[in-house]
Structure formats: structure tokens, C-alpha cells
Amino acid sequence: MITSSAAEFGETVLHGKLAGLDVGTKTVGLAVCDLGWSFAGPSETIRRTKFTADLEALRKFVEREQVTGLVLGLPLNMDGSDSPRTQSVRAFARNLAPLNIPILLWDERWSTQAVERAMIEADVSRAKRAEKVDALAAAHILQGAIDALANLAQRH
């Protein structure tokens, strides 16, 4: 199942760890959250090669971390419309079907910029920023999603 609805995703993934993915053209940043869906943290970055290798790396990550659902950052245009990158991430999500776990597409319009700004304010060197930005962006994306899921759960 692939959805953009946090409510639909939340009904499908009732418990377990979630992973956030910041899918770029050269790398995929990965993050995980705790079992209680309270906080997300950066994990690692996968350097993209052929999709079969990328899928295998993600499969190993999902198994090792015991992930029950994925949150993929969806890079929408500022007006909310799709861009070529948006279509690429949607195709990437469809290609993750062999993992057989629910996928939430989450609006990530400001994630990388927010993470970059925070690292600059923390005086992180340019080299260190380049190394960490994808996993930190994935954590930012995942945190937004689990905050929304927690908010939905409180209403029910």
C-alpha cells in the first residue's frame, strides 16, 4: 500500500518502527523512530547504484531495524503540484513493492533546507554537512510524519 494519507497509513501500521527515506538522485538518507513513534533519528545514507542493489540495501536495513512501515519524503513544488522529482520518488515507492510494507508519501518541501540551516547555525563544516544532510533530512521527514500520526491517535 502506498498512500499520502497519514490516517490511512496509521490504520495499516499500528505498531513497530518506522523508517524515513530522503530519496535523492545519488543517495537515499535513512532514519528510524522509536517503537512509541515519539522521536526520529538519522541512521545512514545509501549511495545509489542500480535499483536492484538499492532495493537489497533497503531490504537489509528494514530487516535489521525491524521496520514495519516506510515514510518517503515527497518533493512537491511550492504550490503543491508534482515536479519531475516528485514523479521519480513516486516511481521509487512503487518499485519498493517487493519489501511488502506500507509506504507513506510525506510532503518534504522544506526538510533539506531546514536541516541545512540548522547545521550552518551549529557551525558544522561544509564537508560534514554534505555527509550528514540526507540522513538528517530523512529524520526531519519522519519526525513530521510521526508527529502527525500521534496527533491523529490522540483524536481517536
Average pLDDT rounded to a whole number, residues 133-144: 86
The full set of domains in the chain, from first to last, is: 2-155 (3.30.420.140)
Do residues 16 and 70 make contact, with C-beta atoms less than 8 angstroms apart? no
Nearest to 42 by CA among 102, 120, 112: 112
Quickly state the pLDDT bin for 10 (edges 50, 70, 90). Answer: confident
Higher pLDDT, 89 or 135: 89
The whole-number pLDDT of residue 42 equals 92
Global confidence as pTM:
0.85
Give residue-wise pLDDT tens across range 71-108: 999 988 778 888 888 999 999 999 999 999 999 999 87
Quickly state the pLDDT bin for 136 (edges 50, 70, 90). Answer: confident
Give the three cell numbers for residue 40. Answer: 526520529
Q: Which residues share a beta bridge with 32?
A: 19, 41
Quickly state the pLDDT bin for 129 (edges 50, 70, 90). Answer: low
Give residue-wise pLDDT tens across range 61-73: 999 999 999 999 9
Considering all CA atoms of the chain, what is the largest pairwise distance in Å, rounded to the nearest integer? 45
Average pLDDT rounded to a whole number, residues 30-51: 92
Give residue-wise pLDDT tens across range 141-154: 999 899 888 877 66
Calculate helix-pair angle for 126-155, 111-121, nearest 10 degrees: 120
